[in-house]
Amino acid sequence: METSHMANKVKAVLIGGTGYGGAEILRRLLFHPNVEVVRITAVDNIGKKVGDVHFNLAGLTDLTFQEMPPAQAVAGADVAFLAMPHKTTAKVVLDIINSGVRIVDLSGDFRLRDAASYAKYYGVEHPAPQMLTDGTFTYGMPELNREAIRKARYIASPGCFATTIALGLLPLAKAGLLSGPIHTVAATGSSGSGANPQITTHHPLRAANLRTYKPLEHQHIPEILQTLRIAGGKEDMSLEFVPVSAPLPRGIFSTSFAEVPASVTQEQLTAAWKSAFANEPFIRIVGGGRQPEVVGVSGSNYVEVGFTLGPVTGNTRRVVCFSALDNLVKGGAGQSIQSFNVMMGWDERLTLAEPGLWP
């Protein structure tokens, strides 16, 4: 790789680099014009080169996976990307928060503002509940929170389902039209379950199957409601969410049902979608007789959104909101880099602008 002018580059460390999220972060950061990846730590594959674990990165870097304490890992670094499981990450953050390093966290440990909700949905008490309520971490969804991200030093990058579902409903929330019960079914690819094999990602079972898991109790539910209320959704909102494991490696497709007043028109909603996503570099409002599809965004940081307005039934009309994205990119690593770019004052499209593969 090009090594000239490295002294002027932001030094990044990746903590938790052997998973699919870590691979996607490296696929982008290794080519970032303003970043030098100086260290990658992990708890497995210690001593192996990056390309021996992530085959698509073979020959692109001489870095190896190292095992070391978090405080040592961030020594000399400007930013730490944390790609570790929930519950583990919070403890690492407590070890490095006073080091001066910027933090971009891909776990769910600092997304919520309510410690009770964290305990309920993640199954453990948060080790630093005051950091949830005092705004230490900024929620890293640029379409909603760009100005706050510009001023942030610590970013909590949104979850994959949360990003997909919230972006699908964001226009209704911003228009003040999102209230009452919301019903969502969203299908996700197998990479969302992580790099370690398990029965639910075993190809002979996954490739010909659809199955639900955590129906009505997925940990992204409070995150989605929190996000939509900040965007303008009403306090009486509730969400019934059924996740589905789908037979594809990458991608999430979300379908959400909401009710709006009978007086709401197609033209009003079209204007709401255009207003909500005006000048957003990664949001595509789908038209021309089709709705969002995973194949249009897989492998990329782009999101497809769309809606269908139903007939008047009594005092309301139903709006069905569709959204699709890549769970590892806009739903994970890509969005974290997008927020990092915003935080650093750079063009947020750096290393993210290319489209996905077709087909």
**Which two structure tokens, joined as six digits, stand for 165?**
């579902």
Catalytic residue flag (residue 321): no
Q: What is each CA distance from 51 to 25, 55, 57, 192, 357, in whole angstroms?
A: 14, 5, 5, 21, 22
Nearest partner of 341 among 124, 87, 150, 201, judged by Cα: 150
DSSP annotation string for 222-237: HHHHHHHHHHT--TT-
Contacts of 124 (CB under 8 A, 6+ apart): 87
Whether residue 129 has a cis bond before it, omega within 30° of 0: no
The residue annotated as part of the active site, out of 25, 83, 96, 160, is 160
Separation CA 255–CA 306 (nearest Å) = 10
- Phi first, then psi: give them for residue 179, nearest 5 degrees: -155, 170
Separation CA 35–CA 80 (nearest Å) = 12
Q: Which residues are catalytic?
A: 160
